[in-house]
Amino acid sequence: VSHPPDRATLRIDRGRLLRRLEDLAAIGKQSDGSCARLALTDADRDGRDLVTMWMRDLGLQVSIDTVGNVFGRWAVGEGLPVMVGSHIDTVRTGGAFDGNYGVLAGLEVIETCQQAGYSPRRPVTVAYFTDEEGARFAPDMLGSLVFAGGMSTEEAHDTVGTDGLRLGDELARIGYLGPVPCPGQAPYAFVELHIEQGPVLDVEGIGIGAVTGVQGISWIEVTVVGQSNHAGTTPMSYRRDAGYAAARIAVKARRIALEIGGAQVVTVGKIDLHPNIVNVVAARAVLTVDLRNTNEQALQRAEAALVATLLEVAADEDVTITTRQLARFEPVVFDDRVIDLVARHAEAQGSSVLRMPSGAGHDAQMLARMCPTGMIFVPSVKGISHNPAEFTEASDLEAGANILLAVMLDLADTDVLEATR
Ligand SMILES: [Zn+2]
């Protein structure tokens, strides 16, 4: 009888992890090298089919819930599972690592244990959540939001995408409308491994981010209605120019971020003008404002300042302004014990560590409503993401996956959460 190995000696297989990342990135590959697997498209289905096949190859029990979240459960041990997961949908110009890395590293953790003959005390589940990016169906992190009970299955199914198609119909069409009800059962703990998608770790030369929480997010769509008119014959004083009003809002949005300072960031990432013609004063403008902060009170101040700006611009420019909240999430604070585990294992494995908040939204912030949750960041070269140039060094991918393995097994095999509860 051979004895199971000491879990501290287990290490993932870097080549195998890189191969899976490459194989998944080949699905939806565009001519510029980017990956387009928008949620619930044929390309997303093909990516799902591949990852689900890998789950089955590892002997995992695969289940699918009513919003298309997929779970591969390694049904060892007993009790609630320790869950690791992320997403495999991408934006239209996605990279090879965003989301995919966390899911495939989860598979790698399980395969490493299986090959070493190591069986933890609690089950381990790898999950990928539907529509994390929100690039086709708003809000982002929709699948994990529904899993955590923050939105009903019905509301999610009735969500209409940028192409006018209904989420529930698309889910059924690609074969991922599952039977498991939402909200789902809370796992014992949740850990998400992800590329940073920002420049901090790369620029500072730090190996691992022990993520302390996620910024709060407010997405507001602003519609400005003015009057379409001839660009040559309409005197300036007669104009009700929706394009100009949109520009004023964008300029003021930047000032709001600078005035609030600290962690406040504001982005106007999208402005559509109608009729969008060179010699016609715009009748209508639709723009989005993305406000984020780690502090909820400050985020609310930014929202209030934006509302004041809209009232002022509407009055000054004689236009009508309406708003629609596309997404709103309060800042999330992760579990101290999980954050400490990440930092401790990173140091033990020779990585430098920075405790840092996440500037981007992640599925883990939804899971944090249900169970002790944490995240591990690895560096993104130059902070580039949502772009074909998105890149993380193989050695960093390997280090992150090994730290994930150590954290997962501490959670799955010890009472590290009970001890301090
Ligand atoms: Zn992501």
Distance (Å) from CA 408 to ligand 1 centroid: 20
| CA proximity to 416, closest of 346, 352, 356, 344 | 344
Residue 313: phi, psi to the nearest 5? -65, -40
The pLDDT assigned to 329 comes to 85
H or E element in which residue 267 lies: strand 265-274
Do β-strands 124-128 and 82-86 pair in parallel, antiparallel, or remain unpaired?
parallel
Distance (Å) from CA 201 to ligand 1 centroid: 17
The pLDDT assigned to 113 comes to 97
For the entire predicted model, the pTM comes to 0.84
Give pLDDT tens digits for 271-294: 999 999 999 999 999 999 999 999
Distance (Å) from CA 98 to ligand 1 centroid: 5
The pLDDT assigned to 336 comes to 96
Distance (Å) from CA 199 to ligand 1 centroid: 15
Distance (Å) from CA 260 to ligand 1 centroid: 27
CB-based burial label for 321 (10 Å; 0-12, 13-18, 19+)? buried
d(CA 390, CA 256): 30
From residue 43, alpha-carbon distances to 46, 154, 161, 404 in Å are 5, 24, 16, 28
Number of neighbouring beta carbons within 10 Å of residue 304: 11
Distance (Å) from CA 133 to ligand 1 centroid: 7
| CA proximity to 186, closest of 343, 47, 335 | 335
Distance (Å) from CA 392 to ligand 1 centroid: 14
Q: Could you tell me the sign of the dihedral formed by the alpha carbons of 236, 237, 242, 245, in that order?
A: positive
pLDDT along the chain (421 residues), means of 10: 81 98 97 96 98 98 98 97 98 96 98 96 98 95 97 98 98 98 98 97 98 95 97 95 98 98 95 97 98 95 98 98 93 96 98 95 96 98 93 98 98 86 47
Distance (Å) from CA 395 to ligand 1 centroid: 20
Distance (Å) from CA 86 to ligand 1 centroid: 7
Nearby residues of 279 by Cβ (< 8 Å), 6 or more positions away: 230, 231, 232
Q: Nearest 5 degrees, angle CA 290-CA 293-CA 299? A: 80
CB-based burial label for 27 (10 Å; 0-12, 13-18, 19+)? buried
Distance (Å) from CA 301 to ligand 1 centroid: 28
What is the rounded radius of gyration, in angstroms, for the C-alpha atoms of the chain? Answer: 23
The pLDDT assigned to 418 comes to 85
Number of neighbouring beta carbons within 10 Å of residue 227: 16
Distance (Å) from CA 287 to ligand 1 centroid: 24
The pLDDT assigned to 409 comes to 96
| CA proximity to 141, closest of 132, 151, 128 | 132
Distance (Å) from CA 359 to ligand 1 centroid: 11
Q: Quote the crossing angle between the two packed helices 42-57 and 100-116, to the nearest 10°.
A: 10
Q: Could you tell me the sign of the dihedral formed by the alpha carbons of 308, 309, 313, 319, in that order?
A: negative
Number of neighbouring beta carbons within 10 Å of residue 307: 13
Distance (Å) from CA 320 to ligand 1 centroid: 36
Residue corresponding to tokens 């990173």: 346
Q: Nearest 5 degrees, angle CA 233-CA 236-CA 239? A: 85
